[in-house]
Amino acid sequence: GAGVSQTPSNKVTEKGKYVELRCDPISGHTALYWYRQSLGQGPEFLIYFQGTGAADDSGLPNDRFFAVRPEGSVSTLKIQRTERGDSAVYLCASRVGGANVLTFGAGSRLTVL
Amino acid sequence: RKEVEQDPGPFNVPEGATVAFNCTYSNSASQSFFWYRQDCRKEPKLLMSVYSSGNEDGRFTAQLNRASQYISLLIRDSKLSDSATYLCVVNAMDTGRRALTFGSGTRLQVQP
């Protein structure tokens, strides 16, 4: 696609529920990143994919968070047993080849009640 | 200590003013530096890369001081449309991570 697409744009859920957030990167971009941004803060790194594999998942806060990219394109961030502290905007970004510049999607705003 | 630190502001300046933001980073092995702009409730977008020799793009000038580990952004002749949050961004290649580390941002409000 022309840009990074993220769905849903908004998600409201109850504490303890399971949530999936989807990212469709720019066509041809091999690297895909997930970041989380809380109000008044900068984006915080969660996980980075190079192709299908997670090259660095050191930013995932705990084992309730998991992400996949089975075919090297679309990625899904999965959050189990959501907590109120998980409320944030989840940003996906992609980049091409060896470039350092990231192109972000519009984000998925998650609210856990 | 945060990897990337910025003054959160807000910086309130009149139209036409010159304003400068600084940012410090803690990892001396950092290799790549950027300024991203983020409008309210929007995603971050690349404003400009920062090169060792300094670089300019229209009204925007970025400088890097490796010895002191800080980056600056200067905006001349501020426009109302420059109102946004400016994010300082660093990539430290020695970690093996190809992810960018973001500061918390400096908010700029340009007033008529």
pLDDT digits 0-9 by tens, B47-94: 999 988 889 999 999 999 999 999 999 999 999 999 999 999 998 765
Instruction: Inform me whether the pLDDT recorded for A97 exceeds 80.
Output: no
Where does the pLDDT of residue A73 fall: very low under 50, low under 70, confident under 90, or very high at 90 and above?
Answer: very high
> According to the model, what pLDDT value does residue A62 have?
94
Q: Does the beta carbon of B25 lie under 8 angstroms from any beta carbon of chain A?
A: no
| Chain A contact set for B91 (CB, 8 A) | 100
Query: Do the Cβ atoms of A42 and B91 come within 8 Å?
Result: no
Output the six-digit token pair for A9: 């744009």
Determine the residue of chain B that is closest to A37 in CA distance: B104
Report the pLDDT value the prediction gives residue A113, as an integer from 0 to 100.
96
How many CA atoms within 13 Å lie on the side-chain side of A64? 13
Q: For testing the chain B interface, which of A102, A103, A109 should be mutated: the one with the most B CBs within 10 Å?
A: A102
CB atoms near residue B33 (< 10 Å): 25
User: What number of H helices and E strands is found in chain A?
Assistant: 0, 11
- Where residue A36 falls among pLDDT bands split at 50, 70, 90? very high
Task: Enumerate long-range contacts of A64-69, CB under 8 Å, 24 or more apart.
Answer: A67/A34, A69/A32
* Helices (runs of H) and strands (runs of E) counted in chain B: 0, 11
* A15-29, A40-54, B91-105: range with lowest mean pLDDT: B91-105
Residue A54 has pLDDT above 80, yes or no: yes
Q: Find chain A residues with C-beta within 8 A of B44's C-beta.
A: 43, 91, 104
CB B33 within 8 A of CB B95: no
Which residues on chain A are in Cβ contact (under 8 Å) with B98?
31, 48, 50, 55-56, 100
First-to-last C-alpha distance (Å) of chain B: 37
**pLDDT, mean over chain A:** 94
- Averaged pLDDT score across all residues of chain B: 92
Contact criterion met (CB below 8 Å) for A30 and A51: yes
User: Considering only CB atoms, which chain B residues are within 8 Å of A59?
Assistant: 99
Q: Is A25 on the interface with B (CB under 8 A)?
A: no
